[in-house]
Amino acid sequence: MDEGSATLGPLDVMRVMEALPHRYPMLLVDRVERLERDVSITAIKAVTINEQFFQGHFPGRPIMPGVLIVEALAQAAGVLAVESLGLAGSGKLVYFMAIDGAKFRLPVEPGCLLTLDVEFVQKRASVCKFAGRATVDGKLAAEANFTAMIADPPKQG
């Protein structure tokens, strides 16, 4: 799609990594299906048995930890914020400030495609609020509202 357009997508993992500092094993967004700048994003996390966390959560009944589902939503929000605020290549990072109303409805297992839908609730230059929903096959797996701040990375010293 046109880079100047308000709507982007699909975006592959290389484009996701241009927006986020996360890398394996913490990169939890594999693809962006649709991003409407200043509005919302739909992204995908392909959940595979090869994920490191499945070794211990839980052996014999692997389930993606709820906190990592929320982290995947936050990473999708990070891509939305970076693209909407024109921060790609700036070195700015999107940091969690608060998580509210997190609810987990459905276990997420290996083999699932986790769809991450996140929308802006409030957007300012340094603090943004988001509402996120994670679904599997159209069924709600988790939801949360969260706040993030846009800041410079920590100083190396």
Domains of the chain: 7-151 (3.10.129.10)
Residue 118's Cβ-count burial label (10 Å; 0-12, 13-18, 19+) is buried
Task: Give dist(CA 32, CA 103) in Å, integer.
Answer: 23
Q: How many CA atoms lie within 13 A of 89 on its CB side?
A: 1
pLDDT of the residue at 1: 42
- The verdict on whether 57 is a catalytic residue reads yes
**pLDDT computed for residue 3 by the predictor:** 52
**Which residue is catalytic, options 34, 57, 92, 133?**
57
pLDDT at 125: 83
The enclosing H or E element of 66 equals helix 66-85
pLDDT value at residue 137: 98
What's this model's pTM, rounded to 2 decimal places?
0.93
Walking along the chain (157 residues) 10 residues at a time, the average pLDDT comes out as 72 94 95 97 97 90 97 97 90 92 97 98 94 98 97 83
